[in-house]
Structure 1
Amino acid sequence: MTWISASFKGLTTQAKNKVHAGTTTRIGGVSMDDYKGLNLASHVGDAINLVNQNRAIISKYLNLPSAPIWLNQTHTNKIVELPRTLTQADEFDASFTKQKQLVCAVMTADCVPIVITDIHARFVVTIHAGWRGLANGIVANSVAMLINQTDSDISEYTAWIGPAIGASAFEVGKEVKDIFQQKFVSSESYFIPNGNQKYLADLPGLVELALKAEGISYVVQSNLCTYSDPKLFYSYRRDGQTGRMATFAWLSS
């Protein structure tokens, strides 16, 4: 299984044929050793020629309509509208487009990939949400830009939360819990005490909380944990030196 398709609530019949989204796995590909499989990241120490081969493999497998627009992700809270020419100095952790045949992309290896569209598939957005980006407002900022730049009503937005580190594996300190409690009053239940001022945090659950706080009621969880499945997923928390999966989203006619 090289691809896990996204699932959205509320899509019209026509929209189901227009929106394409999902997350890659590490299965397949030509990378070796720590990156064994379908590593799609060029910034993690893998041989660039192998990364390029992996990108060609997934492009052919998915019949992508264009080359994905790769972002320089640095756990910011910034989103960019595509098309736009990006430079190495540009730092974004989300992108969206209303243009057909343009592929938005984010890379992850434990952080949460999010795809948002609306029930008519009039736009797509991909978001990279680690705990820092989530706490700093990457979801809120992305939704604010969508409201400003699209004709869709927030009541018609629908979101998918892709594979990410699960609640049983993501240990954080009290300072992280406190940050989220200040941001979301109802976040207490997403942190389970694990001794010595440590907590097991439900990061995908916190993402869903953030999406619903912005008014998005249609939310689907993949319920797939990157940490617990080394055959299927890369995991930075588990392995340290490792590859990255990619989450793609695009619109067809």
Structure 2
Amino acid sequence: MIVPDWPAPVGACCSTRDGGVSPGPYASLNLGVAVGDDAVAVAENRRRFAATLGGAQPLWLRQVHGVRVVKADAAALAGPTPDADAAWTDQPGVACVVQVADCLPVLLAHPDGRGVAAAHAGWRGLAGGVLDVAVQALCNGTGADPHDLLAWLGPCIGPHTFEVGADVRDAFADDAALLRYTPRADGDPRWHADLAGLARARLQRLGLTRVHGGTWCTVSDPSRFFSYRRDGVTGRLAAAIWRRP
């Protein structure tokens, strides 16, 4: 596990691909249920992951690259898997969890630990405002100002490997400096985008000043991280955050 190096008094971690039972391209701690892996293996992997969460129960999401945020509480745990890309909670005993395999996991915490949130920030969700709704939900639920919050950026596709087209360039026109023009040899226009940098810029515009992490590239480190861009068929990492009792 990667444990965030930040001053938030909460539990938080991000899995690597080590420590599970899945074979082949999912080796070994695949936490994704809809990627083609054996369901029994995924269930065991999720059990192992949950055992690291300090007694908190993980709320898994069915992520759709959107901007919906849900509250992680006992009712959510008892119901069907929510279609959402962010979750927040002020309840001890429940962990907000997002899955990634190149997209960016963003964890948020109130500085005194009274509330936490997690967001799945691929480029579509980031451009659409998933961090905006996660920050707003956490602030509304805890009475915090965005300036109070701490954020941690987990592993994602790095700026030297995230090649994108004009659709992504246009979606982030306000942050053009974070997209480097790198046309292909045949002249086909392409850009390399800094996904973690784009998230950091978005958080700063929302008022957050304490943003940590964002230094790992999933594509460049196959021994530690799953990467859809690199491998196609692959597993999923998970990042979790929870209130301590």
Q: TM-score range by the shorter chain?
A: over 0.9
Contact 2:21 2:41 in 1 (8 A): yes
Deviations 1:160-198 (CA, angstroms, capped at 9, x unpaired): 0000000000000022111111xxx2x111111111210
Tell me what 2:58 maps to. Answer: 68
* Equivalent residue in structure 2 for 1:211, among 196, 200, 203: 203
Tell me what 1:23 maps to. Answer: 14
- The unaligned stretches of length 5 or more in structure 1 are none
The structural deviation recorded for 1:223 is 0.1
Tell me what 1:229 maps to. Answer: 221
Tell me what 2:232 maps to. Answer: 240
Deviations 1:84-111 (CA, angstroms, capped at 9, x unpaired): 33425x4100001001121110000000
With 143-152 and 49-58 compared, the bigger mean Cα shift is at 143-152
Tell me what 1:33 maps to. Answer: 24
Aligned length: 238
TM alignment of 1:27-106, pairs within 5 A: 27-60=18-51, 62-83=52-73, 84-85=75-76, 86-88=79-81, 90-106=82-98
Verify: 1:199 aligned to 2:191, yes or no. Answer: yes
Question: Quick one: which amino acid aligns to residue 6 of structure 1?
Answer: P
| Cα separation, 1, equivalents of 2:170 and 2:177 | 13
| Cα separation, 2, equivalents of 1:78 and 1:55 | 23
Contact 2:109 2:149 in 1 (8 A): yes
Tell me what 2:3 maps to. Answer: 5
| Cα separation, 1, equivalents of 2:53 and 2:122 | 29
| Cα separation, 2, equivalents of 1:126 and 1:63 | 14
Contact 1:21 1:250 in 2 (8 A): yes
DSSP 3-state at the match of 2:143? coil
DSSP 3-state at the match of 1:160? strand
Which runs of 4 or more aligned residues in structure 1 lie more than 6 Å from their structure 2 counterparts after TM superposition?
none
DSSP 3-state at the match of 1:103? strand
Tell me what 1:144 maps to. Answer: 136
DSSP 3-state at the match of 1:49? helix
| Cα separation, 2, equivalents of 1:82 and 1:173 | 35
The structural deviation recorded for 1:224 is 0.5
| Cα separation, 2, equivalents of 1:20 and 1:197 | 43
| Cα separation, 1, equivalents of 2:137 and 2:41 | 36
Tell me what 1:177 maps to. Answer: 169
% same residue: 38
CA RMSD of aligned residues (A): 1.3
| Cα separation, 2, equivalents of 1:142 and 1:179 | 20
Contact 1:79 1:92 in 2 (8 A): yes
